[in-house]
Amino acid sequence: MQQRFVPHMEELRKRIIFVLAFFLISLIGSLTFVNPLYHILTKTAGNVPLAVLGPGDIVSIYFMIGGICALVFTTPFLFWQVWLFVSPGLQAKERRYAARLIAPITFMFLLGISFGYFLVFPQVYHFLQRLGQQSFRFFITATEYFSFMTNIVLPFGFFFELPVVVVFLTRIGILTPGVMRKFRRFAYFGCVVLGTLISPPELISHLSVTVPLILLYELSIFLSAATYRKRQRAEAWWREDKPVARNVRRSVTNSAANAELTPQESPASTPTLTPGLSVAVPDSSTPLIDKDAARESGVSGQGANGSEPDSLDAAESVTATFDTIDTHVASVNDGIDHAQIEQEMAVFLVKHLEEGAAFERRPGIKLDVRE
């Protein structure tokens, strides 16, 4: 147990070091441009000058500005390092799917930061500024200004990750669009409360924050429904209750879990399932179809010399010694994902085995399916 735990801790340590190093590099780069960054970030303050309470505050403000920018730059890199840490524990299909979420996660985070900085923060700040000037002498330090800006803007970067999280949870079967629709009224109420709390007490301000949050939730429902339908269609491929289909499903599932998808050496010699997809069955010693399944389905094969096998054992020796299925995807323009590819492979094998497709065994060479 400890021997397995230590490598994981070493890997985690390495990823943390990478993130800290990237943050440090981003911080140094941000400090180089701290003066122009200061003027850009303080435009919202308007004509009210920001004050410092001592010489040490100047250094603190410089590092605060650099830290804010470095944090924004480092967060996408942090997501990437988290992915690299967890990906070895995932199956090949899960890794391929999760890798496609890195770009949307980064985009939605930056979109949320932009929404919070350009829309929410100016409204909240100007409202509080007007409110303070009515009764008080408005005086704000630069430290308080940047702290307030960070507390308002940064959470929106994580709020906007909701659609990506919903798609992922739907894809792995934890969440369904029906559940999200069921809790829609509570989500709307939460959006209204959140929009009311962080925006000035004006209708336009409330709507400018609440409506985007509601649209974000509706977008999550839409993406969840699309992902759920795709998942349902994929699962429908596996519902055939035939003996051969059951064994092929089991073999394909085990093969996909243990084998990487690699290009074929000679894809032209293998039959085509869909545009850009070919399949071959390599030699192995693990049976794909057992005797009972072959007996029930009446699968027949062809011996190495081209003659018909005269017993079930002979047929099994030809047709039931396959383990790993390799696929070659020359084009993905048809939008078929790898899960659907694996299911098409299963249906393909079921079809040919039930029709008594002939297999020729050649030592050291992959078995070819011949019509």
* Closest C-alpha to 348, from 317, 327, 321, 318: 327
Rounded distance, CA 184 to CA 173, Å? 19
311-335 residue pLDDT tens: 333 333 333 333 333 333 333 334 4
Cβ neighbors of 340 (< 8 A, separation 6 or more) are 233, 234, 237
- Same domain as 214, residue 291: no
pLDDT for the residue 305: 42
Least confident of 10-19, 79-88, 325-334, 349-358: 325-334
| DSSP character at residue 89 | G
- Same domain as 266, residue 159: no
- Same domain as 267, residue 197: no
The domain boundary, picked from 235, 262, 285, lies at 235
- Same domain as 198, residue 49: yes
Residue type, 333: N
Residue 364 vs residue 209, higher pLDDT: 209
Rounded distance, CA 238 to CA 246, Å? 8
Q: Decide the pairing of beta strands 358-362 and 277-280.
A: unpaired
| 3-class DSSP assignment, residue 336 | coil
Q: Is residue 171 part of a domain?
A: yes
The domain boundary, picked from 219, 235, 251, lies at 235
24-52 residue pLDDT tens: 999 999 999 998 988 888 888 877 788 88
Residue 172 structure tokens: 């792995």
Dihedral angle of Cα 302, 308, 311, 312, to the nearest 10 degrees: 30
pLDDT for the residue 325: 37
Rounded distance, CA 27 to CA 174, Å? 38
265 contacts 286 by C-beta, under 8 angstroms: no
Would you place residue 166 in the very low, low, confident or very high pLDDT band (cuts 50, 70, 90)? very high
pLDDT for the residue 101: 84
- Same domain as 274, residue 258: yes
pLDDT for the residue 189: 94
pLDDT for the residue 128: 82
pLDDT for the residue 27: 94
- Same domain as 159, residue 256: no
| 3-class DSSP assignment, residue 161 | coil
- Same domain as 92, residue 29: yes
- Same domain as 262, residue 118: no
Overall number of domains in the chain: 2
* Closest C-alpha to 341, from 254, 239, 237, 247: 237
Q: Is residue 80 part of a domain?
A: yes
- Same domain as 117, residue 212: yes
Expressed as residue numbers, the domain containing 306 is: 243-370
Residue 244 vs residue 167, higher pLDDT: 167
Most confidently modeled range among 59-68, 271-280, 327-336: 59-68
250-272 residue pLDDT tens: 655 555 445 444 444 444 444 43
Q: Is residue 1 part of a domain?
A: no
Residue 35 structure tokens: 């003066």
327 contacts 279 by C-beta, under 8 angstroms: yes
- Same domain as 50, residue 118: yes
- Same domain as 182, residue 152: yes
Percent of the chain residues past pLDDT 70, beyond the cut: 61
Q: Is residue 87 part of a domain?
A: yes
Flag whether pLDDT at 187 surpasses 50.
yes
Q: Output the pTM of the full model.
A: 0.59
Most confidently modeled range among 94-108, 231-245, 350-364: 94-108
83 contacts 77 by C-beta, under 8 angstroms: no
- Same domain as 265, residue 211: no
- In the chain, alpha helices (H): 2-32, 34-41, 55-86, 92-99, 102-115, 121-135, 142-159, 162-171, 177-182, 184-198, 203-236, 243-258, 291-297, 312-319, 338-354
Q: Is residue 2 part of a domain?
A: no
The domain boundary, picked from 235, 266, 282, lies at 235
